[in-house]
Amino acid sequence: MLWLFAILLTLAALGALYAAMRRPLAGADEDAPTRAFFKSQLEGIEEDMRIGRISESEAAAARGELAREVLRFEREEGKPASAPAAKILPVLIVLPLVAVVAFAVYIAIGRADLPGQPLAGRDLAAEGGQISIEDAIAQVEARLVETPNDVRGWEALGPVYMQMGRYSEAANAFRHILDLAPPTADAETDLAEALILVNDGAADEESIALLRSAAGRDPVHVRSRFYLAGELTRSGNFEEAAALWRELLDIAVGEEPWVATARAGLAAAEAGSTDATLSDPVPDATQEVMIRGMVEGLAARLYDTGGSTDEWMQLVRSRMVIDGQDAARQDLDRGLAALDAEGRTALADLAAELGL
């Protein structure tokens, strides 16, 4: 059935091509422009005689000359009577040859026996569709080997490395961003955060310097102040830490999820600056503030740029321990809205495990 349909379709196409190529040769009057010219010449002679421009004898002579031109033209054009057939003959040879070659090629390499493949069953990655995150990273990395000054490539890799827990590579990417583009509070905080995570949560001199620079660069930058205030509280620099906690509370409008953390941090810093006993309100207020600062920093980044399923699960677990079910449900809702279907399933399973 398929071959019958293909043959009929081919014959129809050849017939249409033949008709289109033959029509101008047989159906059109190619001599019409020339005959119209001769007619206009005759009308011109008659008009010149009517207005007296030429005499009747001169008009007769002109008509005779024009008649000889017409006869000569018709005699010359009448000789190649077989010309249209000569022009059509190659067409009759070439068109069947094209059809034979097309069928021969299909028989050699075609696969009419293959079934149709639904879109859902196709390998889109192999067909140029979606590719895995690992392949995408590898492609960007390969491009950056050739063009290491492409800041957009590093901007694409840095957050992905963070989401995958590849903190050392993330720090390297953020360094390149700061080298290639004007520094921003977000870029400096990104590098500081990566360095802190490389050091298992400990802030070194470079990360502290980056956080100070970021906080000074943007007077309402929350993430840098959280990390810096938490580290200063932990290291005993209570006066500067208290000033930063106050700045955070001044920035807040009152509904941010980190407000309670900032208030606890301020209380810890003020207690430390007056030599009060920090063990009265909480057993280890400094450590709690540092933990809260890390959690709020993670939350701020996930809210802003998104993250992996593991990071959202880590945030929900941490929030459950620190702030209870209501706060954990808020992070859970944000995570469910941000993740894909697979990530939502994993996060929902965690929520069921935690009783959320």
Give me the mean pLDDT over the 14-18 stretch. 65
Tokens linked to 26: 């047989």
Position 332 in a domain? no
Q: Is residue 265 part of a domain?
A: no
Q: Give me the pLDDT at residue 316, please.
A: 86
User: pLDDT digits over 181-197, tens only?
Assistant: 999 998 999 999 889 88
What residue numbers bound the domain in which 193 lies?
151-203
pLDDT interval class at 82 (50, 70, 90): very low
Same domain flag for 41 and 100: yes
Angle subtended at Cα 232 by Cα 227 and Cα 233, rounded to the nearest 5 degrees: 100
Please tell me the pTM assigned to this model: 0.50
State mean pLDDT over 161-181.
90
Over residues 129-142, the mean pLDDT reads: 77
79: pLDDT confidence band, cut at 50, 70 and 90? very low
The pLDDT value recorded for residue 206 is 92
Supply the DSSP string of 160-173, one letter for each residue: HHHHTT-HHHHHHH
The 10s digit of each residue's pLDDT in 249-301 is 898 887 776 787 788 888 888 887 665 544 444 434 445 555 666 677 677 77
337-348: pLDDT as tens digits:
888 888 888 888
**Domain final position from 183, 203, 223:** 203
pLDDT recorded at residue 213: 94
Residues 6+ apart with CB under 8 A from 270: 238, 242, 276
Specify the residue for token string 């449900």.
329
Distance CA 90, CA 220 (A): 82
Burial 244-272 (b: 16+ CB within 10 A, else e): bbbbbbebeeeebbbbebbebbbbbbbbb
Q: What's the number of CA atoms in the CB half-sphere (13 Å) around residue 206? A: 12
Asked if the structure places residue 163 within a domain, the reply is yes
Q: Round to whole Å and give the CA distance between 286 and 282.
A: 9
Q: Are 309 and 339 in contact (CB under 8 A)?
A: yes
The answer to whether residue 320 is domain-embedded is no
Higher pLDDT, 24 or 310: 310
Question: How many domains in the chain?
Answer: 2
